[in-house]
Structure 1
Amino acid sequence: MDLTNDISREPAAAQLRARTRGQHEAVDALYSRYDLGTCGSYGEFLQAQYRAVAAAEKALKAFPALPTWRQRADLVATDLRSLGIPLPVPLSIDLLSSPARAHGLLYVTEGSRLGGRLLLRAVADDLPTRFLEDGHHPGEWRRLLAACDQFANEHTGAIEDMLAGAEAGFHLFAEAAVVTVPGAAR
């Protein structure tokens, strides 16, 4: 057996990235349907984001021992209000009282900050972008990845629950995009 290719020997963050790649690509494809250059479609994008982010943050608040993270639901809510769009009802996510699952969900929600910074380029200049502008502060992402690795090293078998939390997070963002179908409200 060639242990150099054994993914279970990889750090937890690398395993999360590798093992959820397909889900990540599927979520990216769902969100690529939104035209961020037009007010209507951008508003629908923000509604989808609010449904997922508000749900994720509510679930994560139940785990005070998580690595430091910053809330963003209030930022997307502010952008929606700036566009005159009422806040949609958030979805829900159950982490089964598992700190490991919470780490996996946090990996997904904080990872979405990276994508947000890339999406900024597509947003029309006259649209509010507080939510997408709120990227990572220097070193934040690396500290989160290190915390995920440390958690997995300190808790035997945690990686599978972390993976379940990450998969639940990607499912949450996918469900939010499907609920808010671009162009349906026009």
Structure 2
Amino acid sequence: MQATQDNSAIAHLRAATRSDHEQVDGAYGHFALATAEGYRDFLTAHARILPLAERLIDPAALVAGWQGRTEALRADLAAMDGETPPELDFALPPGEAARWGALYVIEGSRLGGAVLAKLVPEGLPAAYLGARHGPGAWRDLLARLDAAVGDDLAAAEQGAKAMFGAYLEAARR
């Protein structure tokens, strides 16, 4: 069924992944961002999945002008004498709608990053958490997602749930 304004793909994804989102927030909430060690561990967890996710989703093919965060993440981690960890074994469900669902998750994490950046002590690198959306970019991305997903809500949900699951696994390692 085609997503309507009252039943948009965004509303569907928010409702369908609410518990996934809460689990990921809880897992990453255990990192002590106020300490250099805790913050480095947080960045290491993200480095287990974000670079691979950005390659698999290929967001630049979905959203013109999209800017990734892999290099900022790696630079912050290196500045803290952290090592880039091995990536998780993760396979994105097939199809463009699944890619959009996964993109919803990784780009939504930018919003949370803006809040978390305030917890990082001054003097520590924060390019990754500071990589925010430009004015109107988040709303534009959501509108594009709604249009692109259309009636393939199940595939978008699978992509989003897979991405949340990968973030959760990365936090637990």
- Structure 1 length normalisation: TM-score? 0.86
**Rg larger in structure:** 1
For residue 91 of structure 2, what is the amino acid of its counterpart?
A: D
Matched, 1:162 2:156: yes
Aligned partners of 1:39, 1:170: CA distance in 2, in Å?
25
Separation (CA, whole Å) in 2 of partners of 1:28 and 1:116: 11
Secondary structure of the equivalent of 2:49?
helix
Asked if residue 176 in structure 1 is aligned to residue 160 in structure 2, the reply is no
RMSD: 1.7
1:6-155 matches, cutoff 5 A: 10-61=7-58, 65-68=61-64, 69-153=66-150
Task: Classify 1:8/1:143 alpha carbon distance in 2 versus 1 (closer, same or farther; 3 Å).
Answer: closer
Which blocks of at least 5 consecutive residues in structure 1 are unaligned? 1-6, 180-186
Q: Find the residue that maps to 1:132 and give its secondary structure.
A: coil
Superposed CA offset, 1:68-114 (max 9, x none): 33211110100011011111112243224311110000000000000
CA distance in 2, matches of 1:28, 1:118: 12
What SS class does the counterpart of residue 129 from structure 2 fall into? Answer: helix
Preserved CA contact (<8 Å) 1:55 1:92: no
Would you say how many aligned residue pairs link Structure 1 and Structure 2?
169
Runs of 4+ in 1 over 3 A off after TM superposition: none
Query: Partners in 2 of 1:116 and 1:110 — Cα distance?
Result: 10
The verdict on how the C-alpha distance between 1:64 and 1:135 changes in structure 2, with shifts beyond 3 A counting, is closer
Q: Secondary structure at the match of 1:148?
A: helix
Distance 2:159 2:114 in 1: 24
**Percent of matched pairs sharing the same residue:** 37
Distance 2:162 2:97 in 1: 12
- Provide, for residues 117-174 of structure 1, a one-character-per-residue CA deviation record: whole Å limited to 9, x for no partner: 0001110112110000001111111011101110122xx3x11000000000100100
CA distance in 1, matches of 2:109, 2:89: 18
Higher mean C-alpha displacement, 164-173 vs 69-78: 69-78
Q: CA separation in 2, counterparts of 1:43 and 1:65?
A: 31
TM-score if structure 2 supplies the norm length? 0.92
